[in-house]
């Protein structure tokens, strides 16, 4: 029985010839991501921004978003966001923090409850105050930074410095483009999104380490071959594994997007984007960086030689 192969055997595609295009393209996307973050900003959920989220279900079977939005706007709660999710009867209503502290926030929740209880069933109410949201922002940011520093420190000691620098640049590239993805799509950014970013970092570093490990193996073996040819040979060698891994993870995340519901939708979509970005950066960002950093075969430590077995000599017979 012939096994399924998503990439042809003995592929000899020249990936490194695109490095003069991939770097300007990635630099442009990174600048756009930073600009979107500074101008448009992130759609922070109540975990970070603070406020109240109410999940409603229409008793009639179909939610009238326009009617519900109009009723909520007349309550004097400031900006109110009404959004459908799941099936036609489910809807979320979100409004910001109210002046007056916790008492005012609870009073606002009661206003909404009395306004919608005739036609809607209130399934969930979630309130986050400004102090809690601020602590979540600090904890989430600290968690991302510490985890990235820890993993990159491991890479610095695990590989030669050229490999470590390439991995650092590729990881920063993936983070910037993920932030830009959240800014341009305006997906809700909450604590689940922090988990998505950490997962993307782990996936990106895993793909990068696989490629770098094969490059280091090939550069020890082919000492007369140019660095660009060695990288092309290495990337083609791991291409079936890379395509298979990305495809299986993508299909799993696609099922979460379709059937997982609104709660993990931002996580699933961000992860789908992260798979594409991580695979791209490991091939077109990290690998070409080795050429620009002047990696040669003499800069890579040779593989340890196998230990020679010493045969025991027979003892001389004593007369």
Residue numbers of the chain with a pLDDT score lower than 70: 1-9, 47, 79, 129-137, 140, 261-263, 295-319
Q: Do the Cβ atoms of 42 and 140 come closer than 8 Å? A: no
- Residue at token pair 């660009």: 228
CATH 3.30.70.3400-classified regions of the chain: 51-128
Q: Measure CA 191 to chain center.
A: 13
Q: Do the Cβ atoms of 271 and 55 come closer than 8 Å? A: no
Q: Do the Cβ atoms of 289 and 232 come closer than 8 Å? A: no
In eight-state DSSP terms, residue 7 is S
pLDDT at 34: 92
Does the domain formed by 51-128 have CATH 3.30.70.3400? yes
User: 10-36 as b/e, with b when 16 or more CB fall inside 10 Å?
Assistant: eeeeebbeebeebeeebeeebeebeeb
pLDDT at 313: 53
CATH 1.20.1640.10-classified regions of the chain: 15-42+133-299
Which fold would CATH assign to domain 15-42+133-299? Multidrug efflux transporter AcrB transmembrane fold (1.20.1640)
pLDDT at 31: 93
User: 98-128 as b/e, with b when 16 or more CB fall inside 10 Å?
Assistant: beeeeeebeebbebbeebbeeebeeeeeebb
pLDDT at 168: 83
pTM of the model: 0.72
- CA distance linking residue 21 with residue 227, whole number of Å: 18
- Answer positive or negative: Cα dihedral of 37, 40, 44, 49: positive
- CA distance linking residue 113 with residue 56, whole number of Å: 10
pLDDT at 309: 47
- CA distance linking residue 276 with residue 255, whole number of Å: 17
Q: Do the Cβ atoms of 275 and 249 come closer than 8 Å? A: yes
Q: Which of 249, 270, 254 is nearest to 180 (CA)?
A: 270
Q: Do the Cβ atoms of 201 and 175 come closer than 8 Å? A: yes
pLDDT in tens, 180-206: 999 998 888 877 888 888 888 888 888
- Answer positive or negative: Cα dihedral of 285, 288, 293, 299: positive
Q: Do the Cβ atoms of 187 and 270 come closer than 8 Å? A: yes
Query: Strand, coil or helix: what is 22?
Result: helix
pLDDT at 308: 46
Helix (H) or strand (E) holding 113: helix 101-116
Kindly list the strands in the beta sheet with 51-58, ordered across the sheet, starting from the edge strand earlier in the chain.
80-84, 90-95, 51-58, 120-128
pLDDT at 273: 92
pLDDT at 177: 92
Query: Strand, coil or helix: what is 47?
Result: helix
Our CA dihedral for 39, 42, 43, 48, rounded to 10 degrees, sits at -130
């Amino acid at each position: 029985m012939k096994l399924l192969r998503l990439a042809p055997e003995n592929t000899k595609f020249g990936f490194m010839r695109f490095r003069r295009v991939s770097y300007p393209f990635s630099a442009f996307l990174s600048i756009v991501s930073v600009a979107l973050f500074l101008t448009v900003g992130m759609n922070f959920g109540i975990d970070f921004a603070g406020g109240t989220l109410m999940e409603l279900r229409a008793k009639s079977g179909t939610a009238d978003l326009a009617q519900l939005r109009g009723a909520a706007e007349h309550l004097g709660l400031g900006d109110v966001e009404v959004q459908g999710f799941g099936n036609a009867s489910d809807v979320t209503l979100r409004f910001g923090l109210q002046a007056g502290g916790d008492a005012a926030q609870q009073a606002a929740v009661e206003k909404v409850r009395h306004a919608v209880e005739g036609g809607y069933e209130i399934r969930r109410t979630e309130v986050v105050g400004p102090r809690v949201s601020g602590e979540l922002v600090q904890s989430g940011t600290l968690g991302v930074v510490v985890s990235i520093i820890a993993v990159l420190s491991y890479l610095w000691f695990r590989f030669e410095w050229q490999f470590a620098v390439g991995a650092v640049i590729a990881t920063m590239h993936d983070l910037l483009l993920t932030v830009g993805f959240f800014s341009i799509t305006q997906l809700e950014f909450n604590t689940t999104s922090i988990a998505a970013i950490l997962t993307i970092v782990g996936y990106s570093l895993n793909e990068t380490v696989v490629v770098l490990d094969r490059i280091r193996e090939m550069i020890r073996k082919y000492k007369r071959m140019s660095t660009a040819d060695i990288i092309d040979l290495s990337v083609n060698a791991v291409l079936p594994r890379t395509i298979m891994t990305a495809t299986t993870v993508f299909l799993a995340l696609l099922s979460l997007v379709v059937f997982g519901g609104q709660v993990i939708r931002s996580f699933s979509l961000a992860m789908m984007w992260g798979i594409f970005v991580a695979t791209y950066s490991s091939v077109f960002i990290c690998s070409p960086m080795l050429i620009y950093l002047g990696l040669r075969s003499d800069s890579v430590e040779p593989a340890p030689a196998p230990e020679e077995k010493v045969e025991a000599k027979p003892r001389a017979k004593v007369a």
